[in-house]
């Protein structure tokens, strides 16, 4: 694409879905979250994309979220070529709302997973780190590097969660160009993505976590005034990585919503 090589995977057939990951991770994380759902809900063609400087995508001369939005629009027009459902996690949730703001005619449905409301680190009404469950034997068996990574924002520190974190988060985090993310990429838009003239009536699912230390869950509720067709869920005993901490609840919510919308 204009900004360099963008890596993506396509899985399944049917109605298209563009799936956008968060800051510093990759499509690997999103596959781990959503493939268990789509394996049981037929009829969707999933486009998993790596954002610039993350996963296997180049960053080129991308400087800010406006650039990434242009890239996503180009991807939608050139590759997807028809209206689609859009899914955004964390920073991907901010990008998703930017896309809906500028190109609502291309969107059929929206899922926001722990969406970032205010660009930056721990902005808005975020929660203090509060571990709700932990396995001390597991934590003692990890290396310091593993333990520091695992305990940074997770609030359920058990073996099952560790296995999912090790599989779907750590490789994604290791693949990111952190010099680009920390020193070049500006996460903000030049506009307010939530400043829309008319309320958005596109069907929307907003999933948040009540122990989320990164983006919280309270600011997202304000989206109900903008996205009047939205379902809002706040999951207890889950942090920013709720899809690996409470996978059964997460998958049940998404499957139920997809089957009824």
Inside any domain, residue 44 = yes
Q: What is the CATH number of the domain that holds 223?
A: 3.40.50.1820
- pLDDT at site 15: 98
Inside any domain, residue 58 = yes
Inside any domain, residue 2 = no
Q: Quote the strand ranges of the chain, DSSP E.
A: 8-11, 15-20, 44-49, 84-89, 107-113, 133-134, 156-157, 204-209, 230-235
Angle made by CA atoms 158, 161, 167, in degrees to the nearest 5: 135
- pLDDT at site 57: 97
Q: What domain range is 23 assigned to?
A: 8-260
- pLDDT at site 4: 87
Collect the ranges in the chain with pLDDT lower than 50: none
Looking up tokens 């750590």 gives 170
Inside any domain, residue 1 = no
Task: Report the number of distinct structural domains present in the chain.
Answer: 1
Looking up tokens 């296995």 gives 163
pTM: 0.97
């Amino acid at each position: 694409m204009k900004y360099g090589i963008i890596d993506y995977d396509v899985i399944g057939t049917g109605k298209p879905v563009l799936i956008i990951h968060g800051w510093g991770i990759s499509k690997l994380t999103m596959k781990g979250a959503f493939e268990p759902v789509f394996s049981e809900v037929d009829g969707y063609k999933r486009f998993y994309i790596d954002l610039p400087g993350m996963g296997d995508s180049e960053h080129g001369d991308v400087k800010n979220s406006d650039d990434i939005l242009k890239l996503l629009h180009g991807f939608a027009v050139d590759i997807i070529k028809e209206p689609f459902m859009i899914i955004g996690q964390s920073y991907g949730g901010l990008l998703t709302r930017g896309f809906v703001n500028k190109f609502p005619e291309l969107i059929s449905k929206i899922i926001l997973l722990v969406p970032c409301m205010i660009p930056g680190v721990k902005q808005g009404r975020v929660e203090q780190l509060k571990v709700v469950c932990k396995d001390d034997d597991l934590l003692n068996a990890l290396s310091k590097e593993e333990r520091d990574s695992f305990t940074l924002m997770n609030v359920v520190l058990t073996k099952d969660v560790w296995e999912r974190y090790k599989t779907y988060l750590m490789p994604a985090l290791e693949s990111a160009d952190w010099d680009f993310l920390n020193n070049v990429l500006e996460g903000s838009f030049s506009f307010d993505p939530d400043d829309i003239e008319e309320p958005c009536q596109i069907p929307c699912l907003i999933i948040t976590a009540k122990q989320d230390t990164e983006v919280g869950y309270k600011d997202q509720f304000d989206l109900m005034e903008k996205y009047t067709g939205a379902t809002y869920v706040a999951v207890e005993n889950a942090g920013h990585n709720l899809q690996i901490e409470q996978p059964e609840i997460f998958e049940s919510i998404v499957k139920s919503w997809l089957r009824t919308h």
